[in-house]
Structure formats: C-alpha cells, structure tokens
Amino acid sequence: MLEETRNELLMNVGEGTPMGELMRRYWMPIGAVSEFDDKETRTVRLMGEELVLYKDLSGTFGLVDRHCPHRHADLSYGFVEETGLRCNYHGWLFDEQGDCIGQPYEDTVDPEQKLRAGCSVKAYPVEAKAGLLWAYLGPKPVPLVPNWEPFSWQNGFVQIVFTEIPCNWFQCQENSCDPVHFEWMHANWTTRLKEEGGDYVPTHLEVDFEEFEYGISYKRVREDTDKENPLWTIGRHCLWPNALYTGDHFEWRVPVDDDTTLSVGWFFSRVPNEMEPYVQESIPSWVGPLVDEKTGRWITSHVMNQDFVAWVGQGARSDRTKEHLGRSDRGIAMIRKRFLDDIKAIENGEDPKAIIRDEKVNECVKFPLIGAEMMIDGYPKEMLENTDSPMVRSKRQFIFQAGQPEHVTKAYEAAMGFKTDKGGLTGR
C-alpha cells in the first residue's frame, strides 16, 4: 500500500511537479509522420501543456505553444509557410525554434523590427523516428530518441494506432509489468466472451521480475512452460519510462494530462519470405475507438481494448492507498520505487534511468527479445496457411485494437501476400 503523498507524486505530470519534471527528461511519441500527408497542423495536449504540432512547407516539424503571443489566437488554425507557422489573425510567423520571424504590419512600420525579440513562442524539439513523431519537453542537453532495435527491422508492415484513454498514465504503465493479467484479462476473459466458451488456459505457477538498463523484465512459468522456456529465460519487458514491448509491438502510455493518457501502439508484422523484399512507402496511423457504439460500453474484443477496460476501471486516478498488493505485483512495486528514486536523482542533477546520450549506443539499442530471429529472418508463407496456432491467427487478423480502417487492412494483406478472396480474413 502506498501512502497518499507518494500516490499523488506518481500521477501528477504538470509543469513543475516532481513527476512532471522527471517525465520531461524523456522523448514522448505524440503523432505519426503520415498524419501530416494531408494536414498542416494538429493540436497536442502533452503533460498538461496545450501545443500545436505542424509541418511546414519545407518539411520541418515544429511543436509550439497553442496560443499566439500577440493576442492569443489559436495557432492550430494558423497556416504553414516555407519556414514556420503563421498565425491566421494578424499573420505573425514563428519557426520551429519558437522565434518570431515575421510580424507583417509591425515589420512595415518599423524596419528595425524591435518588437520581434520579445515575441517568441514556447517551442519544443520534434524528431521523426520509426514513423512516429517524438517530442521532448525537458531541459537541455537534449538526449537522443531511443533507437530501439525493432525500429531497424526490415521487410515488415508497420502500423501505428492512437487512442486517448480517460485515466491517469501511471496506472496504464503499471500494466506493463503485470504478467498474470495476460492469463485472466486476455486469455480467460476472451474465452468467456465467446459464445462457444472453452477451457481456461494454463495458469501461472511462478513469476519473477528483474531490472535491467532500459526497464524491468517480467518472467513467468505457466503450467504449460518451464524454466527453459524463453518466457522465463528472457521474459517480456516494461521499457522506460512508459512503454511495453511484447514480441512484435511497442505500446507507450503518454501522459496527456493528469486524467488522460494517449495510448500509442507501434506494430511490426514481418512479411513471409516469399514477399521479400518488402519496402513500406509510408507507415499508416489510425485512431482506435474505445466505445462500442451498439452498447455504449467499452469495446472488449481486442487485446489492448481489454487493457483499456482495466485502466479506466481503476478510476480516473487510481487510489493506491486502498489497494492490496500480492506477490504477483512485485513488478509494480519496482516500477514505483524506480520512479520515486529517479525523482530524487534528477533533484541531485543526475540523469534518471534509461536516458541515452551516446550516439554509438543509440545506433541500435538492443534489449533481450523473444522471437527476434523470426522477425529478422522471416518465415515461409506456408506457415500462415497450414496451421491454426494463435501466432498464425494473430497474423491473419489485427488482434490488438478494434477499428482498423479498411485501407490499412488491405495494405497489410497485400504486404503479407494474403488472398482475401479465399476468405479467412474477415472479422477483426
């Protein structure tokens, strides 16, 4: 059980709060590069700050304060120029550094442009990586955007999915170090949700947690596995500060504000060897729905939607002073402790966990991965046709979130070499 002060400490990410200062030391995924194929600006709310993300005509991304320093018009209605974003009210122009580089009327009447100097706008660095747009709201020197090994994999179809979840980010991230919930929330609950029912899956017999450089690994032995199994020898990983990596995808839980989290999923589907070489022109992104239109209840059919049900069910801000942790929750306790320790570390001027500043290290940030060989070397197409294993089923349908748009499904099927006319690809 956690006392009230530390409970609050873990959740609040506003500017100037201890956790807010800590989380500002990390790059956060906030959007997708492909979103800007057909738009110029988008509002962003990140750690309580109201911002505008834009791509100017030269292709530079910027993330600036939502309100113009002149008389506070909404810059998300501004328009982009070769360099920068122009306010639509009186035409002031700002670049990605936040500098005011144009004040049309003022520039006309005062060739010395004296007013410009004090009129810069708050601006944060943006970097594109792995099809995602990343933002950094922290102090300088700016660390590197982690170049996680899966970002370098070739011959894969990648898609990015966003969903805004109405609850605090920290309870979402606690789910990243929670092995037992897979058995109940995903496997057994899914069985119960099916009309035809079925047996419960093999239960967990032992779990363990281990901190490593970039996160905390969780390891498990189930009735059907032993300590030779990679689920024990390698495990899965809660990555720092706000991600989960399992097998073929990342999930980030990005703090929008203290009561809202942006779930960002990055999914890699290795194409069969027969479809190589596969080069993806553009990584699609889409927004996954939360609510089942028919019932008005949360969607429960897909893996991450099930997680969302757990997170929001804990309340907008989970009250950790009233919980009852068991032995399966040791990973949760480890996450909390590391964050609380790192709050002190940054107060002492140290870097918190998993900050990467070394270019050499960042060429490819490796962590122990189950099944990486298959992602790298691929597999024969017949593997997708001749078996009904869960692994294959998950390749034939997008199991992680409901609402995949048809154009993404089609692009995926084409990449994988599926023949839709033969059936088997309906129902997502």
Q: List binders of Fe ion among 399-418 (CB under 5 A).
A: none
C-beta of 34 vs 103, nearer to ligand FES = 103
- Number of neighbours of residue 256 by Cβ within 10 angstroms: 23
Could you say whether residue 251 binds Fe ion (CB under 5 A)?
A: no
Question: x/- site string to Fe ion, residues 357 to 396, per CB under 5 A?
Answer: ----------------------------------------
Choice between 90 and 428, CB closer to ligand FES: 90
**Dist. CA 339–CA 255, nearest whole Å:** 15
- Considering CB distances under 5 to 8 angstroms, the limit depending on partner class, which of Fe ion, ligand FES, none binds residue 92? ligand FES
- Smallest distance from ligand FES to CB 125, Å: 23
The DSSP 8-state label assigned to residue 187 in this structure reads I
C-alpha–C-alpha distance, residues 12 and 156, integer Å? 37
* Cα-Cα-Cα-Cα dihedral sign, residues 299, 303, 306, 308: negative
Six-digit token pair at 185?
Answer: 């929330």
Picked from ligand FES, Fe ion, none, the partner binding residue 307 (CB below 5 to 8 A depending on kind) is Fe ion
Spacing of C-alpha 20 from chain mean position: 18
Q: How far apart are the C-alpha atoms of 109 and 106, rounded to whole Å?
A: 5
Q: Across-strand partners of 269? A: 157
Question: What 3-state class would DSSP assign to 139?
Answer: coil
Report, in Å, the least distance between residue 78 CB and ligand FES: 8
Q: Which residues pair with 61 in a beta bridge?
A: 55
> Shortest approach of ligand FES to residue 83 CB, angstroms?
17
Interacting residues toward ligand FES by CB under 6 A: 68, 70-71, 73, 87, 89-92
User: Which is it for the CA torsion 357, 360, 364, 365, positive or negative?
Assistant: negative
Of 182 and 214, the one with the shorter C-beta distance to Fe ion is 182
100-102, strands of its sheet edge to edge: 79-80, 85-86, 93-94, 100-102
Closer by beta carbon to Fe ion, 17 or else 176: 176
Instruction: Tell me if 307 contacts Fe ion by CB under 5 A.
Output: yes
Under rule CB under 5 A, residue 96 binds Fe ion: no
Choose the one of Fe ion, ligand FES, none that binds residue 129, judging by a C-beta under 5 to 8 angstroms depending on kind. none
342 binds Fe ion (CB under 5 A): no
To the nearest 10°, report the CA torsion of 145, 150, 154, 158: -80
Residues at the contact surface with Fe ion, assessed by CB under 5 A:
307
